[in-house]
Homo-oligomer: A and B are copies of this chain.
Amino acid sequence: MGGHGHPYSPAELQLPGFVPQRLSQAQIVAPFAGTAVLAVLGAWLVSGRCGGGGRLSRTDRLLMGWWLFTALTHLVFEPPFLFTPDFFSKENPNYFDDLFKEYSKGDSRYAARDTAIVALEAITVGLKGPASLLAVYAIASRKPYGHILQFAVSLGQLYGCLFYFVTAYLDGFSFWASPFYFWAYFVGNNSLWVVIPTLVATRSWKKISAAFQADKVKTR
């Protein structure tokens, strides 16, 4: 820990009453990674048994896992940050307080409660979370709005990530405690929400364009 009572960068960041983290990195990462594995596995097993009117494709079953995991991230792991402005100074920190203390090593704007971060998290928790859950249902029930919904949420996630990186760049690009945290948390963790939404959005774009292409051919 630096001379400023916290382990974050920049060192000038003021966090009065900072309570050091109790959980180790492994204790923080394990429940999050476990949620990811359980969500994908659970969705895979359940979706293999349901499916009125023909089986769901493997891609759709994997996508249900992704949407379940991203919904749990937006609706379980992120809201505590939003509703606990004093998470870094709470005397009896819970798992989520320590989660955001750990993540702040990769982006101290979380501990600093930067406006752009709070706005992003509010929109993510309020809109993308429920919409991700709806996507699980839409795929399972083969709703006609399934593709446009998945496209909309993916685009929102991509827009959010772009905003996240651009604001970090404009504000000096110096919010990580070390290169390890830069690559592991700021780049690594967030790249999940860049790579997968890009794949999902591209797939939905193609399926939607194909539906109109087919429509055009048929009506000629």
Tell whether A123 is near chain B: CB-to-CB under 8 Å: yes
Tell whether A147 is near chain B: CB-to-CB under 8 Å: yes
The answer for the CA separation of A210 and B116 in the assembled complex, in Å, is 37
Assess the A171–B115 pair: CB atoms within 8 A.
yes
The answer for the CA separation of A209 and B155 in the assembled complex, in Å, is 18
A-B contact pairs, 9 of them (CB 8 A): A116-B119, A118-B170, A119-B167, A144-B210, A144-B213, A159-B160, A211-B211, A211-B212, A215-B215
Assess the B145–A205 pair: CB atoms within 8 A.
yes
The answer for the CA separation of A156 and B120 in the assembled complex, in Å, is 14
Task: Give the nearest-CB partner of A160 in chain B.
Answer: B159
The answer for the CA separation of A109 and B162 in the assembled complex, in Å, is 20
Assess the A166–B205 pair: CB atoms within 8 A.
no
Residues of A within 8 A of B (CB): 115-116, 118-120, 122-123, 142, 144-148, 151-152, 155-156, 159-160, 162-163, 166-167, 170-171, 204-205, 208-216
A77 to chain B, nearest CB (A): 20
| Known contacts A148-B205, A171-B115; is-contact A159 B211 (Cβ 8 Å) | no
A114 to chain B, nearest CB (A): 9
Task: Give the nearest-CB partner of A170 in chain B.
Answer: B115
Additional A-B contacts beyond A123-B166, A144-B209 (19; CB < 8 A) = A115-B170, A116-B116, A118-B170, A123-B163, A144-B216, A145-B205, A145-B208, A145-B209, A146-B212, A147-B208, A148-B209, A151-B152, A152-B155, A152-B205, A155-B155, A156-B159, A159-B159, A211-B215, A215-B215
Task: Give the nearest-CB partner of A210 in chain B.
Answer: B144
A144 to chain B, nearest CB (A): 4
Question: Using Cβ atoms and an 8 Å threshold, which residues of chain B touch A148?
Answer: 148, 151, 204-205, 208-209
